[in-house]
Homo-oligomer: A and B are copies of this chain.
Amino acid sequence: MAGFRVELGSASHTVEIGAGLLDRVGELAAGQGLRGRCAIISDKNVARLFAERAARALKGGGLDPLIFEVEPGETSKSLHTLERIYDFLVEAKFDRAASIFALGGGVVGDLAGFAAATFLRGIALVQVPTTLLAQVDSALGGKTAINHPLGKNLIGAVYQPRLIVADVELLRGLPEREFREGIAEVIKYGAILDAPFIGELERNVEAILARDAKLLEQIVERCLRLKAYVVERDEHEAALRTILNFGHTVGHALENSAGYGRYLHGEAVAIGMVAATRLSCALSGLALESAQRLRNLIAAYGLPVTMPTGWCNDDFMQALGRDKKRSDDAIRFVLLTELGKTTSRMLTPDEILPYLAEL
């Protein structure tokens, strides 16, 4: 078991990582001063597996949990589902002392987090991520959001949780494809901030894919500490935090243009990272050998490394133009100068297309 603090002034909070922590979530929450009424917000698949255990643990910590289930999948990140959550919270007479536990992957974390951020102008939030992607990335940093019909995450808030509890044991039951997509974000942290980590991920492919508990705990802790380092220095993405978007600009455009659901988020980011390394070789001096290493590592974890057939369609171009990190027409692209070191360039979609065509 491991733990540390994310230092953000009055929004500072604790992160706990370890096997079996779901059964201790009530005790950990009570240790942060939470008590009384709370909601476990989860999707139906995750709820079936873990909601009752979470509820039991919360009761054991002196809290009074209700379970609220949403449909699995990205379509739940909608104003419609958010409205249903508000109705539930109002009817259950939640007050400012109440709290929300987001039990699930990135969708649930974003949705339940945004509900917590905006109900009664903000009630306590605990992130209990159940996927690798959420444990290594989305649960930390305070980004919450829902989608607009014309783009992902256009509506949201930066709202820090009171506590993050990552139980790596929950990852054992994760479908293979969902486990692997999480590795994409793991590799991202190595690529942008921690070259030695890349070496470890290369050496341990089999043990990691076999979900060795000790290794998973180390990986989750390492990624979250790296992310905390970034978020502590730039909570609102004024500068440094943009490096976390490495691979995400092309990744988001692929997600939008290929239709939600064709690629899992991590899969689209995997392709986006390969695209970004190709650009980095051309524009920021990344060695071809380093680009090849990163591409091989991504492929070794069973993640896609090429653009799909027909990628260069109107939807893709429009999605690139509508990326919310853009300002004016050029897009800020995060590039690598070497493994573990980043830079960035303002590039127009036209400037990057030739390189994407080469993947």
Contact = CB atoms under 8 A, between A and B. Distances in A.
Interface of A: 9, 79, 83, 86-87, 90-91, 93, 95-97, 114, 117-122, 143-145, 148, 150-151, 153-158, 236, 322, 324-328
A139 to B, nearest CB: 16
Instruction: List the 5 closest pairs (A to B, CB-CB), nearest first.
Output: A121-B156, A97-B327, A90-B150, A120-B324, A95-B327
Contacts of A143: 121
Given A79-B83, A95-B326, A90 B121 contact: no
Contacts of A150: 90-91
B79 A117 contact: no
A104 to B, nearest CB: 20
B327 A96 contact: yes
A155 B79 contact: no
Contacts of A324: 95-96, 120
Contacts of A144: 121
B122 A158 contact: yes
B86 A322 contact: no
Nearest to A142: B121
Contacts of A122: 157-158, 236
A157 to B, nearest CB: 6
13 contacts: A86-B154, A90-B154, A91-B150, A95-B327, A97-B327, A118-B155, A118-B157, A119-B155, A121-B143, A121-B144, A121-B145, A121-B158, A122-B236
Contacts of A118: 114, 118, 155-157
A80 to B, nearest CB: 9
A114 B79 CA distance: 14
B157 A90 contact: no
Nearest to A9: B9
Nearest to A83: B79
B95 A148 contact: no
A157 B157 contact: yes
Contacts of A158: 121-122
Given A79-B83, A86-B148, A121-B153, 19 more contacts: A9-B9, A86-B154, A86-B155, A91-B150, A93-B322, A95-B328, A97-B327, A114-B118, A117-B157, A118-B118, A118-B156, A118-B157, A119-B154, A121-B143, A121-B144, A121-B145, A121-B156, A121-B158, A122-B157
A90 B151 contact: yes
A101 B327 CA distance: 19
A118 B122 CA distance: 13
A25 B151 CA distance: 32
A320 to B, nearest CB: 13
A54 to B, nearest CB: 24
A83 to B, nearest CB: 6
B91 A121 contact: no
Contact of A79 (B79, B95, B325): B79
- Give the one of A95, A121, A151, A327 with max B CB within 10 A: A121
A97 B328 CA distance: 9
A117 B144 CA distance: 12
